[in-house]
Chains A and B, each alone.
Chain A
Amino acid sequence: MSKVIDALSILLILGASLAFAVGVAALGERRDLAALYWLAIGGLVLRSAVELLRPRSSSR
């Protein structure tokens, strides 16, 4: 199970990077709303990866 979670966290980071890249590409094509949307998606995916790694509720 832990291996699946590790793989998921790597996939989430790669997904976040992809979303950021799409956002920057959309910025270059003058699609501002799409750019903001994909950058927000990237931020959320990255946040998910952090939570998956070290949950905030952890007592450590």
Chain B
Amino acid sequence: MNELGAAQSGSRPSAIASALRPLRERASTILPGLYAWLTTVALPSAQHGASASARVSAVFALLALVAAPLFVNERPRLGRALGIFSFIGLSLLTWVLLGAGLVQNPGDPLLSALGAVAFTLYALGWGSLRRRDAVPEDGPNVIPGQPLQPRLRPLRSTPIVFGVILAAALVTVFLAFRVIEPERALFAHAVAILAAILTITVGARVALLVGQRKGLPPASERLNAVAVPLALLALVFGLGFLWLVVR
């Protein structure tokens, strides 16, 4: 082997390594996406009755998923178009093309639930990430001057409170997977997601303000404010009890 050949064979692994670097850097996004694709797109497409168009669409979804990190640094718009719109759109297209074949495996709601969690992690992974060498203060939209101080400092209990509320909110989402009938299941999922969003939104505010005294109205005012909704709640509970007795 001459020197040129040795240099070429030596540069080949480094070229492969540099080509795979975006995949490594984006592993926290790619791996959940891969799991979500496997459990919710590939498995239904691999079933016996799945159409060829659904399988082709599933393969293109995988290609979009894997190709997205290769472009995300140099051409971020193309990367995001591939990773978000193409991957999600082709996954949706696969589900549509599968039709009734999508629900041929209703006996494994856990797998579907894990797939949904993986899709959530994938979506979170596509959040705006700062580049390694980027300094936020160098941005053109930075307002010069002293940094603004937060009005409230979160307490140590804040993450615990929020964690408990988050877990409680997710119970509803997981319960929706136990609904078997397709029409009801769709409605149950919509209701569960709406309930989880509402609970987490209010829970985040509660978690941040628990233990804080600054800027909050006095306790008596807060109790007075809650009197009407609690009275309404007691009335609805009473009606429910009455309904139980009459029935």
Q: Considering residues A17, A18, A40, which has the most beta carbons from chain B within 10 angstroms of its beta carbon?
A: A17
Within 8 A of B (CB), among A28-47: 28, 30, 37, 39-47
B197 to chain A, nearest CB (A): 11
Nearest CB on B from A32, distance (A): 9
Asked if A21 and B172 sit within 8 Å, CB to CB, the answer is yes
CB distance from B175 to the nearest CB of A (A): 5
Contact A48 B179 (CB under 8 A): no
A40–chain B nearest beta-carbon distance, Å = 7
Using known A-B contacts A45-B233, A49-B206, determine if residue A13 contacts B199 with beta carbons closer than 8 Å. Answer: yes
A21 to nearest B CB, angstroms?
5
Q: Is the CB of B229 within 8 A of A21?
A: no
Instruction: Provide the B209-232 mask, 1 if CB < 8 A to any CB of A, else 0.
Output: 111010111010111111011101
Q: Report yes or no: A60 in contact with B219, Cβ–Cβ below 8 A.
A: no
Interface size on A, residues (CB 8 A): 42
What 0/1 readout, one digit per residue, does chain B (13-56) give for beta carbons within 8 Å of chain A?
A: 00000000000000000000000000000000000000000000
**Apart from A28-B179, A42-B195: 11 A-B pairs, beta carbons within 8 A:** A5-B222, A27-B184, A27-B188, A28-B185, A37-B236, A39-B195, A50-B202, A52-B223, A52-B225, A53-B209, A55-B222
CB pair A24 B195 closer than 8 Å: yes
Which residue of A17, A50, A55, A58 is within 8 Å of B169 (Cβ)?
Answer: A17
Q: What are 17 A-B interface contacts by the 8 Å CB criterion?
A: A6-B211, A10-B161, A10-B206, A14-B165, A17-B171, A17-B172, A24-B172, A27-B187, A27-B188, A28-B188, A44-B229, A44-B236, A46-B202, A51-B225, A52-B222, A55-B225, A58-B221
- Contact between A20 and B172 (Cβ–Cβ < 8 Å)? yes
**Min CB–CB distance A25 → chain B (angstroms):** 5
Please tell me if the beta carbons of A27 and B191 are within 8 angstroms of each other in the complex. Answer: yes
A17 touches B199 (CB 8 A): yes
Interface string of B186-200 (1 = CB under 8 A from A): 011001100110110
Q: Across the interface, name the chain A residue whose C-beta is closest to B187.
A: A27
